[in-house]
Amino acid sequence: MSTTNHATDDASAPRGKAPAGERLADWADGRLGVYSLAKANMRKIFPDHWSFMLGEICLYSFMIIIMTGVYLTLFFHPSMNEVTYSGPYVPLQGIRMSEAFNSTMNISFEVRGGLLIRQIHHWSAVVFIAGMFVHMMRVFFTGAFRKPREVNWMFGFLLFVLGMFTGFTGYSLPDDLLSGTGVRFMEGAILSVPIVGTYLSFFLFGGQFPGHDFVARFYTIHILLLPGIMAGLLVAHLILVFYHKHTQFPGPGRTEKNVVGMPLMPVYMAKAGGFFFLVFGVIAAVAAVASINPIWEFGPYRPDQVSTGAQPDWYMGMAEGLIRAMPGWEINFWGHTLQLGVFIPLVLFGVVLAVMALWPFIESWVTGDKSEHHLADRPRNAPTRTAFGAAWVAWYMVLLLGGGNDIAATHFHLSINAVTWFVRISFFVIPVLTFVATKRICMGLQRRDKDKVLHGRETGVIKRLPHGEFVEVHAPLDQGQMYTLTQHVQHQPFELGEEVDENGVRRKAGPVTKLRSKLSQGMYGEGSQIPKPTAEEHAEITSGHGHH
């Protein structure tokens, strides 16, 4: 093989040496096949929309977290050995603390730029998980999780969940009073698991709480185990984005069979590459002015001390809300204790997240739709899905409020009991109200779309007719707008059909099929979508006499 290469090189030699860049590319191509790779990808088209940047924010904040995290490991000592503080921060001088806390103090007060990197790291984590949340909602509400992207939806969901736990193990590392309280909460939650809880807790903490092991163990989990898995998932997520090609919003010339946009090289290299620097720059500026996790104000952890207003990072607020709102149910039987007041929230924590993760599979089962979807749905055109997503977001927000019930109570001068009861009732009521309201709004928007297509857009010009009547002049939409408003596919509800076929043989529908039919009626039946305007309706109105 090498001889063949030599032969071709020799053959091209008389034309003079190729430029250095090309020779380097030739070298790489002979070993890595870069030309074939670049042929498919260098001018790959990406569609443009502001909401497609949300995923990029996640990617970039993840990269920032990795870079700043590596720097922090150079100075952080993941040890719970006790030392006496003798650094420059006067209020803590002479206080006993773990080496973990002491080295975090060192990073914050003595390593030049250490505080900045710590704050960039923590702010990026907050942005990362918030970004994933919003990105996930964008994908959900536009139906971008549909075939062929269900697997990538699951990858993204796993990244979101792992991100939460990576964040939790990360902010627990400094072994300060606030995070130690969070770790204690986690230990109590593990203890509530029936049968194995006590053993799990003893194995995780190397004995009784707090023990001397959890910082070192969380450190391995935080810097190696979880980020390793996440890096793998992230690469897989991006490969699938490339492989599937990005979804696009409907519009003239944009179909299920193409992707319209601008090429990776040069436009997206510049835009996406530039956006990395924008995100990094903004987070660096935030870290310059906004303090985050000031552990010197909390002090080192002691299991018999606590501060008021203890709050986890925002992404754990939902778990916190569950645990705070739950009534203290506890059952004793046969010498055992089932602490439902903690165990139910622990289970619900998984359930709340799983409900969202599983929706794409529920939807595809109900619709029975086997085709690929590359055009993003306008949320209004899928009222049931949109209402479900909005209800889920409302549910999540109720729990976030529940996680900060003490903050809400002190800020708004309310009774903590009243706030907690509000959360308990809202947990069941608010999602239902949100579902109903969102669905109605979607239907209203569908009606407005239909009206616009058939009657045109309101121009704001008022005309007085000869007999004195005032009418508003409507201008017809242009072709592109009409296409955009009518291009979507409307699913028909799945009918069970006749119980008895034409030969008189009974066809019995199983309970699963019946459920599917019921759900389908609910999602695509008469009350759940407005039939989109047809060409006949349009022709009748535009050619008729009543046109104004």
Partner 1 sequence: MSSHPGSHEDMSEENLPSERSDAHDGAVAVAEDPFADPGLPPHQPRRQDIDERAARRSERAVAFMFTLSMVATLGFIAAYSLIPPSKIVYIFPFGHVSALNFSLGWSLGVALFCIGAGAVHWARTLMSDVEMPQERHPIEAEPEVKQKVLADFRQGASESQFGRRKLIRNTMFGALAMVPLAGVVLLRDLGPMPGTSLRHTAWRKGMQLINVNTNLPLRPEDVGVGSLTFAQPPGLNDNSDDYDDVIAKAALMIVRLKPEDIKDKREADWGHEGIVAFSKICTHVGCPISLYEQQTHHVLCPCHQSTFDLSDGGRVIFGPAGHALPQLRISVNDKGYLEALGDFTEPVGPSFWERG
Binding string, 176-195, against partner 1, x = CB under 8 A? Answer: -----x--xx-xxx-xxxxx
Residue 426: name the closest of 318, 319, 312, 325 by CA.
325
Asked if 249 interacts with partner 1 (CB under 8 A), we say no
Interface size with partner 1, residues (CB under 8 A) = 126
Q: Assess contact for 222 and 133: CB atoms under 8 A.
A: no
Could you tell me which residues come within 8 angstroms of residue 428 by beta carbon, excluding any fewer than 6 positions away?
A: none
- Least CB distance to partner 1 at residue 89 (A): 9
Could you tell me which residues come within 8 angstroms of residue 60 by beta carbon, excluding any fewer than 6 positions away?
A: 275, 276, 279, 280
Residue 375: name the closest of 171, 530, 147 by CA.
147
- Least CB distance to partner 1 at residue 4 (A): 29
**Cβ closest to partner 1, residue 5 vs residue 415:** 415
Do strands 96-98 and 331-333 pair parallel, antiparallel, or not at all (unpaired)? unpaired
CA distance 420 to 505: 58
Could you tell me which residues come within 8 angstroms of residue 534 by beta carbon, excluding any fewer than 6 positions away?
A: none
Q: What are phi and psi of 31, to 5 degrees?
A: -110, -35
Asked if 197 interacts with partner 1 (CB under 8 A), we say yes
Q: Assess contact for 398 and 317: CB atoms under 8 A.
A: no
Interface pick for partner 1 out of 91, 207, 294, 527 (rule CB under 8 A):
207
**Cβ closest to partner 1, residue 222 vs residue 254:** 254
Interface pick for partner 1 out of 134, 260, 445, 496 (rule CB under 8 A):
260
**Cβ closest to partner 1, residue 44 vs residue 491:** 44
Q: How many CB atoms lie within 10 A of CB 330?
A: 13
| Stretch binding partner 1 (CB under 8 A), from 23-31, 298-306, 377-385, 501-509 | 298-306
What letter represents residue 160's amino acid?
F
Q: Which of residues 111-170 bind partner 1 (CB under 8 A)?
A: 111-113, 115-116, 119-120, 148
Interface pick for partner 1 out of 230, 241, 279, 393 (rule CB under 8 A):
279
- Least CB distance to partner 1 at residue 206 (A): 5
Asked if 173 interacts with partner 1 (CB under 8 A), we say no
Question: Residues for the chain: how many in total?
Answer: 548
Asked if 307 interacts with partner 1 (CB under 8 A), we say yes
- Least CB distance to partner 1 at residue 295 (A): 15
CA distance 461 to 333: 76
Asked if 211 interacts with partner 1 (CB under 8 A), we say yes
Asked if 314 interacts with partner 1 (CB under 8 A), we say no
Q: Assess contact for 137 and 157: CB atoms under 8 A.
A: no
Do strands 82-84 and 96-98 pair parallel, antiparallel, or not at all (unpaired)? antiparallel
CA distances from residue 511 to 31, 517, 519 in whole angstroms, order as listed: 58, 10, 12
Interface pick for partner 1 out of 212, 474, 491, 518 (rule CB under 8 A):
212
**Cβ closest to partner 1, residue 507 vs residue 547:** 547
Q: Which of residues 369-428 bind partner 1 (CB under 8 A)?
A: 372, 374, 405-406, 416-417, 420
Tokens 């569908």, residue located = 446
Asked if 336 interacts with partner 1 (CB under 8 A), we say yes
Could you tell me which residues come within 8 angstroms of residue 309 by beta carbon, excluding any fewer than 6 positions away?
A: 406, 407, 410
**Cβ closest to partner 1, residue 309 vs residue 546:** 309
Asked if 258 interacts with partner 1 (CB under 8 A), we say yes
Q: Which of residues 65-104 bind partner 1 (CB under 8 A)?
A: 82, 88, 96
- Least CB distance to partner 1 at residue 266 (A): 5
Q: Which of residues 40-59 bind partner 1 (CB under 8 A)?
A: 44-45, 48
Interface pick for partner 1 out of 199, 242, 361, 428 (rule CB under 8 A):
199
